[in-house]
Amino acid sequence: MSKRELIDCICEINKSAKPCFLANFSEEELQTYLEHLMELDLEELAVYS
């Protein structure tokens, strides 16, 4: 995934995230953060199911 795609995915999950702020991070850091957000999102789905 490109840096732009990572930022777009992060913003879809974390509505308060600002693309200009996220652009300061490396692709690796963004990938790690996205994985973390996806884990939290799945946990939340499991709680509400």
Work out the mean pLDDT of the chain and round it to a whole number.
Answer: 91
Residue type, 23: A
Tell me the CA distances in angstroms from 31 to 8, 26, 46, 47, one per residue in order.
12, 9, 23, 25
13-36 pLDDT, tens digit per residue, is: 999 999 999 999 999 999 999 999
- Per-residue exposure over 33-43, b if at least 16 CB sit within 10 Å of its own CB, e if not: bbeebeeeeee
Residue-by-residue DSSP string for 1-47: --HHHHHHHHHHH-TT--HHHHTTS-HHHHHHHHHHHHHHHHHHHHH
pTM: 0.83
On the question of pLDDT at 44 being above 80, the answer is: no
On the question of pLDDT at 49 being above 60, the answer is: no
